[in-house]
Structure 1
Amino acid sequence: MLFENWKENLEPLINKYKGRKHPLNYNNTYQLLIMVILSAQDSDANINNIAIPLFEKYPNLESVSNSSIDEITPYLIKVRNYQTKTNWIFDLAQLLKTNSNIPTNLTDLIALKGIGRKSANVILREMNQKTEGIIVDLHVIRVAPRIGLTPKYEDGNRIEKQLMQQLPYEIWNEIGMALSFLGR
């Protein structure tokens, strides 16, 4: 690629955004998990608005698992693809039952309905868990090729794989969000 020492060249960008919280307004892992599922192909601002009444009514996975899809749906109708996402969230609550059962590793997170690599990487970063990949969202897909980090791909998983090969492990945790904030 353009630079031999990406770590050194990306350091100012990483330092600028290091530790900055994701734009979803969550208070705990349960809220983050639900909001990440809802935010796929939707805006963080929309999800932040929807989340307030949702979490007032359903403060944890147990409350979701003790409800029904019909009870949850009215809280999610303003979300893009709400029917599918409502089913995912309900199924996830039925499977996990309590917040303490939320996985803390990539493999178990991506095994859940509605959670792909990007979502799992966001959850792991935000919950200060071990980094297992790089967050690649729409912004990273646009920015990474522009600065010469990757060829231009449309597929986030392909870009993530390229970034993981190109960049040292010690910056994986911060570089995805830094690139995302830069792209915003």
Structure 2
Amino acid sequence: MRIASEAEEGRWACTWDLFPRFARLTVERATQPYWFLYEGTPGGSLEPDGDFYVLPDGHRRPASERWERDIPGPEWLYFGDRTSNQVLCLAHHEDDEAVDAYYPMEGNMTVFGFGRLRLEKYLEEVPQRFTVALVEETGHEAVERAIEGMIRPVGVTVGIVETEDGGGR
């Protein structure tokens, strides 16, 4: 399913593509710098020392550990709760050098932004694609494979239609 939207008389435009296992947002027009923001609570409530996030380097960090830097490409991370068997994955398909930032807000929720530092917005290029997914795994290698599968470009090959008798048309 595809959902397209525009705002401010067409100056902003984006498209959500919804797949069975993930959703992808494509920012198609932007007249000012922007960020892609996630605010939430892994597992329903933030537990700063029990919840975690993982960057592509595979190191699990406690949700209490804030940071501000560019995630080197590929740009993705995931959030989890130590009592859950699934994680929330966020990916930015296009590598950039813009700062990305995470912090636990007032001990109540996680706040993460691609292209964000405090309230400053650093993304300007379009189109830009972002993917969001719940993955039913918590092991880094399995989650990494799932994310890579979601952000890999889709290729289509057109060939001869094969019939049951092995012939082509």
TM-score of the two chains, using structure 1 as the length reference: 0.21
* Higher relative helix content: 1
* Higher relative strand content: 2
TM-score of the two chains, using structure 2 as the length reference: 0.22
Q: Report the structure number with the largest CA radius of gyration.
A: 2
